[in-house]
Amino acid sequence: MTINVDSNLCSQCGVCSKVCPYGIIDPANEMQLPRVHEGMDAICVSCGQCEAFCPSGALMLVDGSNKAQESVIQKGVISPENLGHFLKSRRSIRTYKQTQVPRTTIESILDIVRYAPSGGNSQLVEWLVIHDPHVVREIAERTIDWHREMANSGNSMFSSYSSLMVDAWDKGNDVICRGAPHMIISHIAEDKPLTISDAIIALTYFEIAAQAFGVGTCWVGAVLLAFQEQPSILEYLNPPKGRIIVFPMLFGYPQHTPQLIPRRNFPHVTWR
C-alpha cells in the first residue's frame, strides 16, 4: 500500500512518519512530500494510522477503496465518567425475551466490531451467527445429552459438574444456553492460531457494542466445553471448514435488566 499527499494541504509536520507502526514513511524535506520508503509498500498493513492522524487532511491511503472517512468522536463527548458507568453497567444476561434481534441490528453491531484491534491489522476474525432459536435450543439439548452420559459414566472428570447440569435441566432450567434466542461464535483460520487473541477481543467489542443496542449477551464456556469434548455438537452447526472455533456468546433482548452495579475486586497492580 502507498500514500497520496496533497502538496497544498501538507504542512510537513511529520506526524504521519511518527505514527506509522513500521516507520516506513519518509518525512517530508525540501525536495519531497512524505512518502512510503521505496520498496517498503509491501510492509504496510493498511492500518490507516497515517491517514487518521494527519492534522491537515492531506494524506490519503491508496488502497483502491477510496471510502469517505468518518470523523472521530470529539474529546469530551463521552466523558470518562459516562463511559465508565456504561462499561460497569454491563452484566451477563441469563434471562431473555423470545423476541428476535433483527439481522440488521446484528449487522450494525458487527459493523462496529470490525474496528476492534487485530495483530498487524490482520482482520482475520470471522463469525458464525446462529440466528434460529431452535438451533440454539438444540445445542443446549445435545449438550445436556452429553452431560447425562458423563454423569452416568461416574468416572468422567466432569461427572459431578455434569450431574449438577442435568439436575438443573430436568427441573426446567436451561443452564446451558439460558433460553437465549441467538448465539454468535468467533472463529479463526487453522493455520493462523495466533489470531485467537483477536477473536477474543472482537467478541468483547461485540458484547460492549450490543449493549448500546439494548441487546444482552453472555459468554458461554459451557458450550465451548461441549464443542471441545463432544465434537458432534459442533458438527451439527456445520461450521466453516478449516477454522478454529474460539468462543461462543449468547445474545438477545434481556427479560430482566440490572438495577445496580455489583461489587468487584480492586485491581492488583505491581508498579515498577
Ligand X SMILES: Cc1cc2nc3c(=O)[nH]c(=O)nc-3n(C[C@H](O)[C@H](O)[C@H](O)COP(=O)(O)O)c2cc1C
Place of cell 483477536: 198
When the beta carbons of 49 and 230 are compared against ligand SF4, the nearer one is 49
Q: Which does 218 bind (CB under 5 to 8 A by kind): ligand X, ligand SF4, none?
A: ligand X
Position 218 contacts ligand SF4 (CB under 6 A): no
Which of positions 193-232 make contact with ligand X (CB under 6 A)? 218-222
Q: What residues from 82 to 101 belong to the interface with ligand SF4 (CB under 6 A)?
A: none
Q: For residues 139 and 224, give the distance between their C-alpha atoms in angstroms, rounded to a whole number.
A: 11
In the complex, least distance from residue 48 CB atom to ligand SF4, rounded to whole angstroms: 5
* Residue 104, all three cell numbers: 440488521
Antiparallel, parallel or unpaired: β 216-219 and 182-189: unpaired
Closest CA to 159 of 149, 169, 167: 149
Angstrom CA distances, 27 to 7, 21, 58, 59, stand at 13, 14, 14, 12
| Region of 6-14, 90-98, 175-183, 214-222 interacting with ligand SF4 (CB under 6 A) | 6-14
Residue 154 CB, nearest distance to ligand X (Å)? Answer: 23
Min CB(68)–ligand SF4 separation in Å: 17
The verdict on 34 binding ligand SF4 (CB under 6 A) reads: yes
> Does residue 170 contact residue 145 with C-beta atoms inside 8 Å?
no
> Which of the ranges 1-9, 97-105, 189-197, 198-206 carries the binding residues for ligand SF4, by CB under 6 A?
1-9
**How long a stretch of residues is the chain?**
272
Paired strand residues for 217: 251
Residues 6 or more apart whose Cβ sits within 8 Å of residue 97: 181, 252, 253, 254, 255
Residue 209 contact, options ligand X, ligand SF4, none, Cβ 5-8 Å cut-off depending on partner type: none
Phi (first) and psi of residue 233, to 5 degrees = -70, -40
List the single partner that 184 binds among ligand SF4, ligand X, none, CB under 5 to 8 Å by kind: none
Given ligand X, ligand SF4, none, residue 246, with its beta carbon under 5 to 8 Å by kind, binds: none
- CB nearer to ligand X: give 47 or 209: 209
* Residue 180: other Cβ atoms inside 10 A: 28
Rule CB under 6 A: choose which of 58, 175, 199, 246 binds ligand SF4.
58
Q: Of the ranges 41-49, 65-73, 144-152, 166-174, which one interacts with ligand SF4 (CB under 6 A)? A: 41-49
Rule CB under 6 A: is residue 199 a binding residue for ligand SF4? no
Quote the least distance from Cβ 62 to ligand SF4, whole Å: 10
Contact with ligand X (CB under 6 A): which of 37, 91, 131, 148? 91
Burial string for 106-120 (b: 16+ CB within 10 Å, else e) reads: beebbeebeebebee
Q: Where are the beta strands (DSSP E) in 42-192?
A: 59-62, 126-130, 182-189
Q: Which is nearer to ligand X, 17 or 92 (CB)?
A: 92
Q: Which residues contact 135 (CB under 8 A, 6 or more apart)?
A: 237
